[in-house]
Structure formats: structure tokens, C-alpha cells
């Protein structure tokens, strides 16, 4: 039995029944990484010593019959833009190649409190900018399904690591689709929760009003388990959601999931603006299959309209790059990170450090954002984009007053080959269906819904703010239906 192929739930069960130890589990995963990661390149940094130490602690707890946290003994990958004390955190950039943070992100502390085992830091597009993990300073991550193809981005490393069974669960961040799109390309489940329900403290900001930490798992239940462990109010993050009703996450996990019940009576909307789009017909076929399953399981499906959706991508790239230009200003070579060796003036110190250490895509977005925010242009670009954002939010508010879940393909295209998309604007199109969710601060999940020519297709289930329960139920229902060949 290859224990790395078990789901996190199955691992937990075997750990509790003392069929395996956490040390065995962690060693097996490190062996797997050693064996295949040279080819996949999902990790930038590994931390075997600490991971084994933590595993031993969990084993001891289990031996002593002590209470073990929700993630007790499970191997986890953490995207490399999330601060890990003492473990270098690079953001996939030369800028932070040797940066070792003196503190942990809140979510890292939460994983540790839940007894999760952090294996290492996963590869990503530089500063989370990209849709293919090709902009990483540490080389591409390859899609485990087909290593000639991209794993998606920017959380490509986290998605690939879960698919390749190098870890059971992982953390990613999603600013415009950076969890859902790689989940779709790597055939795993990815959840981008509602803005504010997972703390951003210690997560390097790309576009801070859009960024959201989320999770990857190989099935819905695993992903929800991971998400449950990291959500919750954090006083260190002013945008953190203080939920008066306690946890919003799908409550308990039944031993056996009866997928038959979850979708009954659920109202599902299909935005005509998305389905009228020119989607790869093969993707459309797979989505239609899923829609039929959802309907067969008792959901009501109707076509809806989100009239301002077509402006999402334009608004997204103005807002996100504007925020990027501000958020990345702190990387100036003065206090930490890369500093140019040659400079004469303070201005040269900044210019040379940033010119030498930022990659092309990062520079492109900083320049775009600086332009959009500059006086004289802010009104026609940045402020107008904010107005569009409000219109998109309003569209969704209206839709969610009637529907529980909105469906779309996760990506308009199948996983592409390295170097296949050269034009940055075409690359941005990969986020076409995912960005509206970030603009509106909603929750969404991508789950695998079939294959086309050996390439995976993902379907996106979008829920209203703080209504994660709806997309979890829909996801469990659909996942069960697909598995059972409905």
C-alpha cells in the first residue's frame, strides 16, 4: 500500500487506529518528494528536520492518548508567500531568495496548533503574479498529469504537490483565481473562501483587497478539513471577519458521505454571460455532464444574468496592479531581501535593486499599477475600475438573493504547454471566470469534473459571502455523483 495516496481523512483514521505512525507517513512523503520532485519541482524549500520532529510529537500524543488536533500528523505544503519563522520564504522571487522571516503567519501557527506537519514551501509564480508558475525565479513547476504542461498558477506548486501525493493538503493564495485555476489544471479540489475568513497576517500581499488564502486537497472533504483548521478571526488582521455565529465552515464530517442528499432543493444559477462565451467545446461538454448530475441529484438549475461580468477582467487588472504597485514598494533593498551591489545614490539603490531582483511580469504589473494610480489617470482608470467592481458585486448580490450556488467552468482553456502562451494578455484570459469572485469577495471552489484527451477539467461552484456551506454541499454532491458514474 502506498500510504501517500490515501486521503487526509484516511491517513487520520489509520493514525488513530495506530496502523501507521506520523513519522512513517512523513518519511513516506519525503521519500516520494525525493523520488519525483526533481521532475515536478513543486517545492522551493523543504524542512525535513522540523517536520520529523513535529511528527514524533504527534506520535507521542497518540501513544499517550492525548487529544490530537484536526490536522494531527498530516503532511502539508505551504505556498512560499506565507511567512514561516526560520524557514526561508521567497515568494518565488530573487528579491527574497535568502529571506528568512522572524515570524509566522497566523495560519501557519494555526496549522501547528492543529498538529499539522509542514513539509516545506511550495513553488509559485513570482509574488503570485501569473497563471502558470512559469514566472518563478526557482524554475517552473510541472503538471504531474503531463509534465510538458503547466500546473496553472500562481499556486501551481501547492496544487502539483497535492496531485503528486507529495503532501496530502496544501495552502495556496488566490487573488484572481490562483487556487481554483491550478486546482482545475492539476485535477484536485481548490477552495478560495470568502474574503476575510482566513487571516492574511503573514501572507505577502499581492493585491490586498483581493488576496485570499485557501486550500488544496484531493477531494472535497479533505479540502474542507484543511480550511476548517485555518479559518477564524485574527485580531492582527483588520480585514478579518468576526463571525458572530461561530464557525461558518461545514460543521462535522460524517464517516460516510451520502452524496444523494446534498443537492436536493438547491437553487443553482448558470450565468449566460459565461456559458455564451467561446469556451472550448470539450470543456463545455464536461461541464454539461456535471450540470446534468447536479440536476439529477435534485437541484433546480436556471439561467441567470450577470450583466457586468464582461468588464471583470479589465477592472481586475487595473485594481490588482494598482495595489501591487503599492504593496511591492517595501521591497526596496534597504532592510531585507536583495540589494544591488552597485549604486551611488539612494535612488540608484532602489532602482538597481528592484531592476535586478524583480522578474518581467512583476515589473510589468508594477508599471501598470503605478500608471493607473498616478494623478491625472487615477480617475479614468483606478477609480472607474472601483465603480465597475461595485456593479459586479451588485450583480452577484442580486443573483444570490435567489440562488445558492452559481456554476461556471473554472478555466476557459485546458492546461497548456510551457511557453505556449507568450502574450501576457492571452495569459490573463486564463482567469476570466475566476476573477469576478475575488472582485466581489465571494467564496468559490474548483472540483475536478472529468477529462478531455487525458487533461483534467475543473468546474467552479461559486457561493455568496460566508455561505461556504452551500458550495461544500454542492461539491460533495457533485463529487459523489461523478464518482458513482451518474
Partner 1 sequence: MGYKTIIGLEIHTELMTKTKMFCSCANSFGNEANTNCCPVCVGLPGALPVINETAIEYAIKAGIALNSNIITNTRMDRKNYFYSDLVKGYQISQDDLPLCEGGFIEIELGDGTKKVNLQRIHIEEDTGKQTHTTEGDTLIDYNRSGVPLIEIVTKPDMNTPEEARLFLEKLRATLKYIEVSDCKMEEGSLRCDVNINVVDSETGEKTNITEIKNLNSFRGAVKAMEFEEKRHIALLKEGKNTVRETRRWDEVKNETITMRQKLGVADYRFAADGDLAPLVIDNKWIEDIRSNLPELPHDKKERFIDEYNLEPYDAGVLTASKDLAAFYEETIKYVNDPKLVSNWIMGDVLRRLKDEEVEIEDVSLTPKALGQLISIVKDGKINNNTGKKVLKEMFDTGKDPETIVKEQGLIQISDEGELKGIIEKILDENEQSIIDFKNGKDRALGFLVGQIMKASRGKANPQLVNKMLTDMLNER
Q: Which residues are CB-neighbours of 207 under 8 A, at least 6 positions away?
A: 175, 176, 319, 320, 321, 322, 323, 324, 327
Choose which of 52, 301, 378, 469 interacts with partner 1 (CB under 8 A). Answer: 378
Choose which of 53, 63, 236, 483 interacts with partner 1 (CB under 8 A). Answer: 236
Choose which of 20, 26, 105, 179 interacts with partner 1 (CB under 8 A). Answer: 105
Question: In this complex, which beta carbon is closest to partner 1, that of residue 296 or of residue 329?
Answer: 329
Choose which of 99, 253, 343, 451 interacts with partner 1 (CB under 8 A). Answer: 99
- Spatial separation of the C-alpha atoms in residues 338 and 99, rounded to whole Å: 9
Q: Is 243 in the site for partner 1 (CB under 8 A)?
A: no
Choose which of 16, 86, 233, 334 interacts with partner 1 (CB under 8 A). Answer: 334
Q: Which residues are CB-neighbours of 96 under 8 A, at least 6 positions away?
A: 88, 89, 90, 331, 336, 337, 338
Q: Is 326 in the site for partner 1 (CB under 8 A)?
A: yes
Q: Is 225 in the site for partner 1 (CB under 8 A)?
A: no
Q: Which stretch binds partner 1 (CB under 8 A): 215-223, 310-318, 327-335, 445-453?
A: 327-335
Q: In the numeric block, which cell numbers belong to residue 452?
A: 478531455
Question: In this complex, which beta carbon is closest to partner 1, that of residue 4 or of residue 122?
Answer: 122
Question: In this complex, which beta carbon is closest to partner 1, that of residue 3 or of residue 437?
Answer: 437
List the one residue out of 300, 297, 302, 248 whose CA is nearest residue 479: 297
Crossing angle for the helix pair 384-400 and 312-327, to the nearest 10 degrees: 120
Q: Which stretch binds partner 1 (CB under 8 A): 88-96, 178-186, 263-271, 447-455?
A: 88-96
- Spatial separation of the C-alpha atoms in residues 11 and 45, rounded to whole Å: 24
Choose which of 24, 27, 56, 237 interacts with partner 1 (CB under 8 A). Answer: 237
DSSP assignment of 111-138 equals HHHTT-EEEEEE--SGGG--SSS-S-TT
For the range 25-31, what are the long-range contacts, defined as Cβ-Cβ under 8 Å and sequence gap of 24 or more? 25/55, 25/73, 25/74, 25/75, 26/51, 26/52, 26/55, 26/73, 26/75, 26/117, 26/119, 27/52, 28/2, 28/3, 28/4, 29/4, 29/75, 29/119, 29/165, 29/166, 29/167, 29/168, 30/119
Q: Is 238 in the site for partner 1 (CB under 8 A)?
A: yes
Question: In this complex, which beta carbon is closest to partner 1, that of residue 89 or of residue 408?
Answer: 89
Min dist. Cβ of residue 101 to partner 1 (A): 7
Min dist. Cβ of residue 478 to partner 1 (A): 34
Q: Is 206 in the site for partner 1 (CB under 8 A)?
A: no
**Greatest CA separation for the chain:** 70
Q: Which residues pair with 484 in a beta bridge?
A: none
Q: Is 147 in the site for partner 1 (CB under 8 A)?
A: no
Q: Is 385 in the site for partner 1 (CB under 8 A)?
A: no
Q: Which stretch binds partner 1 (CB under 8 A): 33-41, 194-202, 456-464, 471-479?
A: 194-202
List the one residue out of 220, 202, 227, 216 whose CA is nearest residue 151: 216
Question: In this complex, which beta carbon is closest to partner 1, that of residue 277 or of residue 370?
Answer: 370
CB 466 within 8 A of CB 245: no
- Secondary element (H or E) of residue 214: strand 212-217
- Tell me how far CA of residue 29 lies from CA of 5, 23, 48, 164, 183, in angstroms: 10, 10, 10, 10, 20
Number of residues that bind partner 1 (CB under 8 A): 45
Q: Which residues are tagged catalytic?
A: 79, 154, 178
- Spatial separation of the C-alpha atoms in residues 182 and 172, rounded to whole Å: 10
Q: Is 97 in the site for partner 1 (CB under 8 A)?
A: no
Choose which of 102, 246, 254, 265 interacts with partner 1 (CB under 8 A). Answer: 102
Please state the length of the chain: 486
Q: Is 344 in the site for partner 1 (CB under 8 A)?
A: no
Choose which of 209, 260, 277, 394 interacts with partner 1 (CB under 8 A). Answer: 209
Question: In this complex, which beta carbon is closest to partner 1, that of residue 141 or of residue 325?
Answer: 325
Q: Is 239 in the site for partner 1 (CB under 8 A)?
A: yes
Choose which of 24, 332, 356, 420 interacts with partner 1 (CB under 8 A). Answer: 332
Query: Is cis: bond before 451, omega within 30 of 0?
Result: no
Q: Is 103 in the site for partner 1 (CB under 8 A)?
A: yes
Residue with the three cell numbers 454541499? 473
| Contact set with partner 1 (CB under 8 A) | 81-83, 89, 91, 96, 99, 101-103, 105, 200-205, 208-209, 235-239, 322-323, 325-326, 328-332, 334-336, 346-347, 350, 370, 373-375, 378, 382
Amino acid at each position: 500500500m502506498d500510504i501517500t495516496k490515501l486521503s487526509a481523512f484516511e491517513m487520520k483514521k489509520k493514525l488513530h487506529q495506530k496502523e501507521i505512525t506520523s513519522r512513517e507517513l512523513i518519511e513516506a512523503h519525503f521519500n516520494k518528494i525525493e523520488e519525483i520532485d526533481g521532475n515536478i519541482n513543486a517545492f522551493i524549500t523543504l524542512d525535513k528536520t522540523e517536520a520529523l520532529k513535529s511528527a514524533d510529537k504527534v506520535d507521542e500524543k497518540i501513544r499517550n492518548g492525548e487529544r490530537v488536533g484536526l490536522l494531527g500528523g498530516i503532511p502539508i505544503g505551504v505556498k512560499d508567500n506565507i511567512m514561516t519563522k526560520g524557514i526561508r520564504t521567497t515568494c518565488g522571487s530573487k528579491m527574497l531568495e535568502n529571506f528568512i522571516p522572524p515570524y509566522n503567519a497566523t495560519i501557519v501557527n494555526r496549522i501547528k496548533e492543529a498538529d499539522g506537519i509542514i513539509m516545506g514551501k511550495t513553488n509559485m509564480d513570482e509574488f503570485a503574479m501569473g497563471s502558470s508558475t512559469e514566472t518563478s525565479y526557482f524554475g517552473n513547476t510541472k503538471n504531474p498529469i503531463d509534465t510538458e504542461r503547466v500546473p496553472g498558477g500562481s499556486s501551481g506548486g501547492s496544487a502539483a504537490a497535492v496531485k503528486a501525493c507529495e503532501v496530502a493538503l496544501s495552502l495556496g493564495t488566490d487573488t484572481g483565481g490562483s487556487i481554483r485555476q491550478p486546482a482545475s489544471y492539476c485535477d484536485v479540489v481548490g477552495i478560495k473562501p470568502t474574503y476575510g475568513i482566513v487571516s492574511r497576517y503573514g501572507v505577502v500581499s499581492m493585491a490586498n483587497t483581493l488576496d485570499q488564502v485557501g486550500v488544496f486537497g484531493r477531494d472535497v472533504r479533505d479540502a474542507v478539513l484543511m480550511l476548517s483548521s485555518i479559518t477564524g478571526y485574527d485580531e492582527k488582521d483588520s480585514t478579518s471577519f468576526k463571525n458572530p455565529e461561530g464557525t461558518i465552515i461545514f460543521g462535522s464530517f460524517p464517516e460516510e458521505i451520502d452524496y444523494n442528499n446534498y443537492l436536493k432543493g438547491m437553487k443553482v444559477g448558470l450565468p449566460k454571460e459565461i456559458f455564451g462565451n467561446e469556451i472550448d467545446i470539450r470543456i463545455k461538454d464536461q461541464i454539461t455532464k456535471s450540470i446534468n448530475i447536479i440536476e439529477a441529484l435534485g437541484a433546480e438549475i436556471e439561467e441567470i444574468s450577470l450583466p457586468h461580468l464582461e468588464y471583470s477582467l479589465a477592472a481586475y487588472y487595473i485594481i490588482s496592479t494598482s495595489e501591487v504597485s503599492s504593496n511591492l514598494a517595501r521591497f526596496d533593498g534597504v532592510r531585507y531581501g536583495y540589494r544591488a551591489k552597485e549604486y551611488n545614490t539612494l535612488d540608484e539603490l532602489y532602482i538597481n535593486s528592484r531592476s535586478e531582483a524583480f522578474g518581467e511580469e512583476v515589473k510589468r504589473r508594477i508599471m501598470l499599477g503605478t500608471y493607473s494610480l498616478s494623478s491625472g489617470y487615477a480617475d479614468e482608470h483606478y477609480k472607474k475600475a472601483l465603480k465597475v467592481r461595485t456593479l459586479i458585486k451588485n450583480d452577484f448580490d442580486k443573483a444570490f438573493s435567489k440562488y445558492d450556488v452559481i456554476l461556471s467552468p473554472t478555466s476557459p482553456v485546458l492546461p497548456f504547454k510551457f511557453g505556449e502562451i507568450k502574450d501576457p494578455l492571452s495569459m490573463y484570459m486564463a482567469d476570466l471566470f475566476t476573477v469576478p469572485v475575488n472582485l466581489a469577495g465571494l467564496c468559490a471552489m474548483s472540483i475536478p469534473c472529468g477529462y478531455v484527451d487525458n487533461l483534467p477539467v475543473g468546474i467552479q461552484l461559486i457561493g455568496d459571502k460566508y455561505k461556504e456551506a452551500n458550495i461544500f454541499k454542492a461539491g460533495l454532491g457533485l463529487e459523489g455523483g461523478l464518482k458513482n458514474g451518474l
